[in-house]
């Protein structure tokens, strides 16, 4: 249980275009999902918290108009990088929060997707 998928696993796009990344919880419902960014050999930096049916909460310094988050259902959150530029190239990871009891042994834990590598040319 507690499987999270991301699509696509990698994407290359031209500068100025928009890219959408999907995060799905496959075998559970997630009222809360999180989006992280990770640079090479660095830790995960939380970008925003995605709440089903409401606006996302962005961390300080993250442009909400640049990184659009939609959490329209209990199993899907999307991150859209708008007008992407080379400095947006990074590894983007989502996680979904499992609330205790719904999956054996989970007890309110975040489970992570496999990540999406974005390269902006």
Binding residue for other proteins, selected from 21, 35, 67, 115, defined by CB under 8 A: 115
The residues near 56 (Cβ < 8 Å, ≥ 6 apart) are 48, 49, 50, 64, 69, 71
80 lines the binding site for other proteins (CB under 8 A): no
Q: Candidates 19-27, 62-70, 71-79, 111-119 — which segment interacts with other proteins by CB under 8 A? A: 111-119
Whether 44 and 36 have beta carbons less than 8 Å apart is answered as yes
- Toward other proteins, which CB reaches closer, 7 or 82? 7
Which is nearest to 9 in space by CA: 19, 71, 66, 32? 19
Residues of the shown chain interacting with other proteins in the complex, contacts defined by CB under 8 A? 32, 34, 38, 42-44, 46, 49, 57, 91, 93, 95, 97, 107-112, 114-115
């Amino acid at each position: 249980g507690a499987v999270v998928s991301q699509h696509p696993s990698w994407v290359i796009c031209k500068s100025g275009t928009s890219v959408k990344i999907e995060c799905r919880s496959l075998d559970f419902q997630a009222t809360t999902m999180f989006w992280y960014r990770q640079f090479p050999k660095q830790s995960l930096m939380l970008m925003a918290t995605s709440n089903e049916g409401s606006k996302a909460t962005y961390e300080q310094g993250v442009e909400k108009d640049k990184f659009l988050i939609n959490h329209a259902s209990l199993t899907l959150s999307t991150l859209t990088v708008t007008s992407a530029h080379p400095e947006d190239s990074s590894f983007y990871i989502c996680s979904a929060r499992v609330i205790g009891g719904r999956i054996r042994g989970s007890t309110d834990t975040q489970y992570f997707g496999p990540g999406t590598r974005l390269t902006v040319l």
